[in-house]
Amino acid sequence: SAAEKGGYASFMLKEIAEQPRAVADTLLGRVDAEGVLTLDEVRIPDAVLREADKVVIIACGTAFHAGLIAKYAIEHWTRLPCEVELASEFRYRDPILDPRTLVVAISQSGETMDTLMALRHAREQGARVLAICNTNGSTIPRESDAVLYTHAGPEVAVASTKAFLTQLVACYLVALYLAQRRDAKWGDEIGDVVRDLARVPDAIERVLADMEPVRDLARSLKEKETVLFLGRHVGYPVALEGALKLKELAYMHAEGFAAGELKHGPIALVEDDLPVVVVVPSPRGRSVLHGKIVSNIQEIRARGARTIVIAEEGDEEVAPYADHLIRIPVVPTLLQPLVATVPLQVFACELATARGNEVDQPRNLAKSVTVE
Ligand code: G6P
């Protein structure tokens, strides 16, 4: 009913708007004033966390994209190798698992059969499983060794939005917690990251306050057949998620690519007026990547692409090559997906609506897929 949607036209719009709160709630009570993480729910003994020699993330759909982003944070902060695998592929390739493998299963519903079967397989091989889940008492956390709940609140729209952002937050917390327990060398920095995370809800609020141009742009593209998404580093999974949202909601052909792969194939797809969304890394710190992606934008634009550029506030270098510029607040590189994903959600939702689609219940999809 309209009341349940809190005045929004769809649950999806409501859930997009709830993201600052969902992120704040997922952080709440898990970090103390000194920046020490207190994840009491993670009942995996410290000795196991210290002796782990590999992290394996399993998930499906949007949760898989959260896992892809988590890999960057886990490897950077803990120096533990991290693999990310689609749950539906995992057990069929005889993966290498033992008691020193920490498996992280990410699932909003906690009922996805592919993820459940993958986690059962991992436990049979002796691995410890930590679930990241949004649904209290659901099957995946019940069958795991431990669970870190995301506090997004109920997510009704089929396409995941606020659950995704809170999955990212939970992944960052797990990465920091592992770093802390394993006495990673950069221990002092944990406090800085924690403080940066605490500022993210405000940053998301600022993104949401300025979405009218994104909605206008989305409506103007409703006759298009294809939209491409490019990103690098953590922006690559953000590009994949932007493309998935557009497929799910707008029923358009959409693909996400690693920008560095353009020259190895996808650039052949670029033709006149093709919309290409590019997630631009911060020009600070990782300026090498920034320069490379600016060149990519110039290359596709020279071939006629209509460039839709998501770039940090103050990034002036990229501005001349953007046909449409979407600004996001400055946050540390690894946290950028928390702000960069939001305009892509709004973009897909608006484009779907302009095409006459029902955004909360896209055709052929289910909120939770309980068959393999
Ligand atoms: C379904 C939904 C997706 C979701 C995926 C994984 O396919 O339509 O939006 O990302 O399942 O769901 P989970 O509940 O395990 O996160």
Element (H, E) at 364: none
Q: What is the mean pLDDT of residues 335-350?
A: 98
Interface confidence (ipTM) of the complex = 0.96
Residue 187 pLDDT level (bands cut at 50, 70, 90): low
For residue 145, pLDDT beyond 80: yes
For residue 142, pLDDT beyond 80: yes
Where is average pLDDT lowest: 112-126, 177-191, 233-247? 177-191
CA atoms of 332 and 168, how far apart (whole Å): 14
The terminus-to-terminus CA distance of the chain in angstroms comes to: 32
Q: Which residues line the pocket of ligand 1, CB cutoff 6 A?
A: 60-63, 107-109, 112, 115, 158-160, 365-369
Could you please report the per-residue DSSP string of 192-215? HHHHHHHHHHHHHHHHHTT-HHHH
The predicted pLDDT at position 285 comes to: 67
367 is catalytic: yes
| 211-230 tens-digit pLDDT | 999 999 999 999 999 999 99
Ligand 1 centre and the CA of 369: distance in Å? Answer: 7
CA atoms of 17 and 11, how far apart (whole Å): 10
CA atoms of 314 and 295, how far apart (whole Å): 18
Q: What is the pTM of this model?
A: 0.96
CB-side exposure of 238: number of CA atoms within 13 Å?
30
Among 68, 150, 367, name the best residue to mutate to test ligand 1's pocket (greatest count of ligand atoms within 8 A of Cβ): 367
CB 122 within 8 A of CB 130: no
CB-side exposure of 28: number of CA atoms within 13 Å?
12
The predicted pLDDT at position 324 comes to: 98
Ligand 1 centre and the CA of 164: distance in Å? Answer: 10
Among 15, 106, 112, name the best residue to mutate to test ligand 1's pocket (greatest count of ligand atoms within 8 A of Cβ): 112
What is the overall mean pLDDT for the chain?
Answer: 94
Ligand 1 centre and the CA of 262: distance in Å? Answer: 28
Where is average pLDDT lowest: 70-74, 191-195, 273-277, 330-334? 191-195
Residue 185 pLDDT level (bands cut at 50, 70, 90): low
